[in-house]
Structure 1
Amino acid sequence: MSSNHPVRVIAVTGGKGGVGKTNVSVNLSVALAEMRRRVVLMDADLGLANVDVLLGLNVQYSIADVLDGSRTLREVMVNGPAGIKVVPASSGVQQLVQLGSHEHAALIHAFSEISDQLDVLVVDTAAGISDMVVNFVRASQDVIVVVCDEPSSITDAYALMKLLNTEHGVNRFRVIANMTRSAKEGRLLFGKLNTVCERFLDATLSYLGHVPFDEQVRKAVQSRKPLLEAAPSSKAASALRDIAQKVDQWPLPHGPSGHLEFFIERLLKSANAQSVV
């Protein structure tokens, strides 16, 4: 079963916790949905599922129920703000490498069933540079790296990009500077990362923009709503909408690599490759 409908698959990652990656994933998804794109947000933090918590969603099932065949992906997905659909993570599924061929087939079939009903899949990865993070990022067509102005954020983002570039051939990264005090700070932050990558990696970095530090973000998290809904005219919300406009203008993937099933196949292939090593 295969679909010819191209789906943009974007992994949002950060190399470390605390950089606001899930907030970016959620609000980018909402901003794209506001632009009439059909968006599915997948919580790929399989150890510490938090998208549903951030959005105050009532979750009954998770991706684990799709894998064991007890639920379809449509049954597992929950409705989120602005019409986005959320695929909740399951703390029970720690490693894709533990899946047998039956579960592999179930996962590919599950995603091929919904591929005609979405335009964008946003994958919110876990923090850190675990095998699971690497697998999801490798399988995605586009990679957004979220950084903030802390030495450890730059160091960890670089470590992740180095691993993905030197060992897995990922050679294009988009960068968002989050929680900045000014546009200039965001540019400087990107410049630091870009300088070291140009020197040591065979990779291209492009700057997607900055999201200013905004007290409204914390309030939105507390109210368990996306920022774009809780404070739509805030500075950070406006910046996230600008970033979504840029994302929407990226060329759509063509050929088999643009089909949702191929994302899942690549994901499982890289997980299997790691289990063999």
Structure 2
Amino acid sequence: MEQVRRETTGGLLLQEGANGNPPLRGELLDQATELRSLVSGQSSGASRGKGMRTIAVLSGKGGVGKTNISVNLALAMNNMGIRVAILDADLGLANVDILFGMMPKYNLSHVIRGMRELEDVIVTVKEDVLIIPGGAGVQELADLDQTRQLALIDKLNGLEGRVDVLLVDTSAGIHRNILSFALASDTTVLLTTPEPTAIRDAYGVLKSLALNAAGSLDVNLLVNMAMSEEEAAAVAERIQMAANQFLSIPVPYVGYIPWDKKVREAVQLRQPFFEAFPTCKASLSLAGIAGRLARVETVVRDSDEGRQGRGVKAFLFRLTRRLGLRD
């Protein structure tokens, strides 16, 4: 297997030059230009700020219903006519498929290794709702050299024009890989419950995002399993005040999901609650949240880590760049 050494120049992962020697300046520029050109869509005349939108769903603490919300949020958005794909990027317990009562045969690692095409991996839940199982491929993304980065970006670009929103279901916590998905996405939904430990850990995620972001953040707060609107609002206000006072970042509150026994019943049935019980309290609340998130416009910021607008290529460029950075 060809030996590859990575150089970090402005965050780009660059291969060795000819004959295994360090790359010459001209080669570095050629590689950087090739990746930037691919991402920005200059050759195809793509418009800046257009394309598929990426929304990462994350939490500081496990057990707050993150994957359940991701799955049902996808269905709620689809109910509005939005084409959605879910990337199951949970590093530990990938279980998006379980909530749909499915068991995928392949995952993203098979695409990365060239064993399968993207179409072989994608699971179609219903028309315009897709799942991309991450599996071991999520970890492997961090070790891709530039050639394989370009190949993967090219393969996943098949989602462009087919999907309006890519929901990224991440792991809980502040692992560097988790933060990378959040910082590479256009929008982040931070999930917490009224539990004191969940609130504390949600703030910990905000702090880590603020410390690692090169520019402004688009983080939206969602409170799950609240016993009342007042309880959820109090939780949101507590986090917003701390974020504003100590981190100087705004954290819009997009709503709450009330505690609802129908959610647990749906999980036991291995069905999303939005489909199993479309008129339950949780489903009705989530529909409103989906509408608010759909109306949030992503602002393209030229200064943010070389952002090149929205779309599959832009997201993967930012993601592979962040995952490739070494401490």
User: TM-score higher than 0.5 here?
Assistant: yes
Q: Distance in 2 between matches of 1:142 and 1:164?
A: 12
Q: Work out whether residues 109 and 140 of structure 2, in 8 Å CA contact, stay in contact via their aligned partners in 1.
A: no
Give, in angstroms, the shift of residue 83 of structure 1.
3.7
Greater Cα offset, 2-11 or 181-190: 2-11
- How do 1:121-270 and structure 2 match up within 5 A? 121-169=166-214, 170-251=216-297, 256-270=308-322
Letter paired with 2:92: G
Which residue, out of 104, 115, 134, partners 2:149?
Answer: 104
Quick one: which amino acid aligns to residue 60 of structure 1? K
Q: After superposition, give the CA deviation of every residue in 1:235-266 in whole Å (9 maximum; x if it has no partner).
A: 00000000011111122566931121110010
CA distance in 2, matches of 1:95, 1:160: 23
Query: What is the identity, as a one-letter code, of the residue corresponding to 2:201?
Result: D
Q: How many residues were matched structurally?
A: 275
State the secondary structure of the residue aligned to 2:120: helix
Paired amino acid for 1:58: M
**CA apart distance, 1:57:** 1.2
Pick 1 or 2: higher relative contact order, CA cutoff 8 A, min separation 6.
1
Cα pair 1:209 1:243 within 8 Å, conserved: yes
Q: After superposing the two structures, state which structure 1 stretch, 42-51 or 142-151, moved more.
A: 42-51
Where 1:123 maps in the other structure, the secondary structure is strand
SS at match of 2:139: coil
Q: Is 1:55 matched with 2:100?
A: yes
**Shift of the alpha carbon at 1:21?**
0.7
Of stretches 109-118 and 246-255 in structure 1, the one that deviates more from structure 2 is 246-255
Give 1:191 deviation, angstroms.
0.7
Which letter does structure 2 place at the counterpart of 1:124?
D
Give structure 2 stretches of 5+ with no counterpart. Answer: 1-37, 301-306
Which has the higher Rg, Structure 1 or Structure 2? 2
Contact 2:222 2:255 in 1 (8 A): yes
Contact 1:63 1:90 in 2 (8 A): yes
Match of 1:114 among 159, 182, 194: 159
Decide which moves more: 70-79 or 10-19. Answer: 70-79
Mapped contact 1:30–1:81 kept (Cα < 8 A): no
Distance 1:165 1:180, change over 3 A: same
Which position in structure 1 is the counterpart of 2:19? none
Q: Which residue type is aligned with residue 216 of structure 1?
A: K
Structure 2 letter corresponding to 1:135: S
CA contact (8 A) 1:54 1:224 kept: yes
Distance 1:189 1:262 in 2: 34
**Post-superposition CA distance 1:118-138 (Å, at most 9, x none):** 100000011111111011001
Conserved? CA contact 1:62–1:76, under 8 Å: yes
Percentage of pairs with the same residue: 36
Aligned to 2:6: none
Whichever residue aligns with residue 257 of structure 2, its letter is: V
User: If the length of structure 2 is used for normalisation, what is the TM-score?
Assistant: 0.80
Gaps of 5+ in 1: none
Deviations 1:174-218 (A, max 9, x none): 001100001111100101111111110021110100100000111
